[in-house]
Amino acid sequence: MSEVRDKGGALYVVATPIGNLDDISARACRILSSVAYIAAEDTRHTGSLLRYLGIDTPMRAYHDHNEVSQSEKIVADLKNGKEVAVVSDAGTPQISDPGYRLVKLALMEGLIVVPIPGASAIISALSASGVAASRFTFEGFLPAKEQQRQKALVKLCHETRTMVFYEAPHRVSVVVNDMQRILGGDRQLSIARELTKIHEQIFFGSITDAIQALSQGAITAKGEFVLIVEGASESAVLVDADIEKVMQTLINELPASRAADVASKLTGESRKSLYEIAVSLKNSRDK
Ligand code: SAM
């Protein structure tokens, strides 16, 4: 079934389930059945979904490694009037997944791009998080390397919006420990694990509570995770702004570690987080 076209093709950006296959929408099924082909991140993975749905539309691989060449071929097909769907392995394309290049190229060529909404781990996790969700920032995956990850968290210290992170299971504990050191242990944290699947679990508590739950095995470090952290309170941001001013002055006179020692004595804040701030301020100053 064609929904829109009078001339030219259309690119349908189709969300697929993040676990429970019954979360596919009726509209997504209609589109996936009717397009000329489906551009899929992993054709074996999408093949299982299509078999479950009884759909036999042909597929073509479209992933991080062939995005550029495939986007051009798909756009050529769209210009020839074909209708094409793009899907990723799970959830919504473009959200920490391929899709961006193709959508951008299609739009730049004046082609029709139609979103077919459905599951995304961000929204599912937020909806059941217990953390305020009217304003949030999606940070995707934090850097895997310790220093870069901690720097990224230092940059987020003053963020007052709720923050959403995707995370790999083997890093959840270290990330939550970094959060305690850098953001403090009192903020609310929701850990959504294996959403829509058999072992679905939603933890809600403080960052410190989460560390305990992780170390006691109450949250199993297996499967897929979304972490949702409460933003900084406006008053804490004002205090942090003062701390930043103190650090700014100190790093002009002292090495980062000495500046952190002095600032820690002056403010009572943790030396570790002040050291992170000192290094990040020095790096931005020296750029
Ligand atoms: N495009 C997807 C979306 O819309 O959510 C995200 C793809 S990204 C490559 C995969 C990451 O999303 C996982 O590592 C995990 O952080 C998160 N994720 C995906 N499915 C999930 C689920 N069922 N439960 C919890 N997190 C999930």
Q: Is the CB of 173 under 6 A from ligand 1?
A: no
- What pLDDT is attached to residue 253? 85
Domain end residue (candidates: 100, 119, 138): 119
pLDDT confidence band for 4 (50 / 70 / 90): low
Give the number of other CB atoms < 10 A from CB of residue 241: 10
- Which CATH number characterizes residue 171's domain? 3.30.950.10
- What pLDDT is attached to residue 8? 66
pLDDT tops 90 at residue 16: yes
Q: 149 and 225: one domain?
A: yes
Task: Please state the pTM of the whole predicted model.
Answer: 0.84
Q: 24 and 79: one domain?
A: yes
Distance from chain centroid for Cα 275: 27
Number of domains in the chain: 3
Q: For residue 18, how far is its CA from the centre of ligand 1 (angstroms)? A: 7
To test the pocket of ligand 1, the residue of 20, 88, 96 to mutate (highest count of ligand atoms within 8 Å of its CB) is 96
| Per-residue pLDDT tens over the stretch 24-45 | 999 999 999 999 999 999 999 9
Q: 138 and 150: one domain?
A: yes
pLDDT tops 80 at residue 255: yes
What are the angstrom distances between the C-alpha of 23 and each of 18, 30, 151, 267?
Answer: 8, 14, 37, 51
Question: What is the chain's mean pLDDT, rounded?
Answer: 92
Q: Which of 172, 277, 177, 179 lies closest to 226 in space, CA to CA? A: 172
pLDDT confidence band for 6 (50 / 70 / 90): low
Asked whether 168 and 161 are in contact (CB, 8 A), the reply is: no
Determine, yes or no, domain membership for 58. yes
Q: 113 and 126: one domain?
A: no
Q: 183 and 110: one domain?
A: no
Read off the pLDDT of each residue in 70-79 and give the average, rounded to a whole number: 97
Q: Which atom of ligand 1 is nearest to the CA of 168?
A: 14
- Which CATH number characterizes residue 25's domain? 3.40.1010.10
To test the pocket of ligand 1, the residue of 225, 227, 228 to mutate (highest count of ligand atoms within 8 Å of its CB) is 225
- What pLDDT is attached to residue 122? 98
Q: Range of 207's domain?
A: 122-229
Read off the pLDDT of each residue in 53-66 and give the average, rounded to a whole number: 96
Q: Which of 41-50, 214-223, 262-271 has the lowest mean pLDDT?
A: 262-271
Domain end residue (candidates: 84, 119, 154): 119
Q: Quote the CA–CA distance of 105 and 96 in Å, as a whole number.
A: 18
What are the angstrom distances between the C-alpha of 279 and each of 19, 247, 272, 284?
Answer: 41, 10, 11, 9
Q: Quote the CA–CA distance of 44 and 284 in Å, as a whole number.
A: 45
| Per-residue pLDDT tens over the stretch 79-100 | 999 999 999 999 999 999 999 9
Q: For residue 192, how far is its CA from the centre of ligand 1 (angstroms)? A: 10
Domain end residue (candidates: 64, 87, 119): 119
Percent helix, strand and coil across the chain, each rounded to 5?
Answer: 45, 20, 35
* Amino acid (one-letter) located at 243: I
What are the angstrom distances between the C-alpha of 76 and each of 69, 70, 102, 203?
Answer: 11, 10, 11, 47
Give the number of other CB atoms < 10 A from CB of residue 13: 21
Determine, yes or no, domain membership for 169. yes
Determine, yes or no, domain membership for 2. no
Q: 105 and 173: one domain?
A: no
Determine, yes or no, domain membership for 45. yes
Q: Which of 76-80, 83-87, 111-115, 278-282 has the lowest mean pLDDT?
A: 278-282
DSSP string, 124-180: HHHHTSSS--SSEEEEEEPPSSHHHHHHHHHHTTT--SEEEEEE-GGGHHHHHHHHH
Determine, yes or no, domain membership for 3. no
Q: Quote the CA–CA distance of 261 and 74 in Å, as a whole number.
A: 57
- What pLDDT is attached to residue 141? 97
Read off the pLDDT of each residue in 155-163 and give the average, rounded to a whole number: 95
Q: 146 and 215: one domain?
A: yes
Q: Is the CB of 91 under 6 A from ligand 1?
A: yes
| Per-residue pLDDT tens over the stretch 179-188 | 999 999 999 9
